[in-house]
Amino acid sequence: MAGKMLCSRTGVFFWVGLRFILTTASRRVLYTIFIVLDACFRLKRRLVSSELEDPNLGSGWAYMVETEPYQEYLPGVTSQKEMNTCSGLAALDYANTKFSRSYSTMGVSMGVCACHGFSNMDYVFASLLKHIHPLLFKFLTYDIACIWKVFLIECLKLLPPNVHLILALALVRFAIPKMHINAHKLLCQLLYSLNLIFGSAQVDTEAIEHAWAGIGSVATSTHDMGPGARHDVLDCQFSYWNWQKLIGIMELLRRQMDRVKEEFKEQIEAFEEFSVQQADHVPRWKQLVLEYEQDNMKENPYQVVVKGLTEAEVRLQFTKEEAEEAARGVPSVHDVSPSSFISVGLDLEQEQSIFPKCLFAAY
Q: Where are the alpha helices (DSSP H) in 132-171?
A: 145-148, 152-157
CA distance 338 to 335: 10
pTM above 0.85, yes or no: no
Calculate helix-pair angle for 207-219, 227-247, nearest 10 degrees.
130
10-residue mean pLDDT profile of the chain (363 residues): values are 44 52 66 86 82 84 84 71 56 53 54 56 87 86 89 87 85 90 88 89 83 83 87 89 90 91 90 93 92 86 81 83 83 78 83 65 48
Over residues 307-324, the pLDDT tens digits come to: 777 777 888 888 888 888
- For residue 258, what pLDDT is reported? 92
- For residue 115, what pLDDT is reported? 45
Q: Which residues contact 148 (CB under 8 A, 6 or more apart)?
A: 118, 121, 142
Over residues 98-115, the pLDDT tens digits come to: 455 545 555 555 555 544
- For residue 272, what pLDDT is reported? 94
CA distance 335 to 348: 19
User: Strand pairing partners for 320?
Assistant: none
Over residues 272-291, the pLDDT tens digits come to: 999 999 999 999 999 999 99
- For residue 116, what pLDDT is reported? 40
- For residue 42, what pLDDT is reported? 80
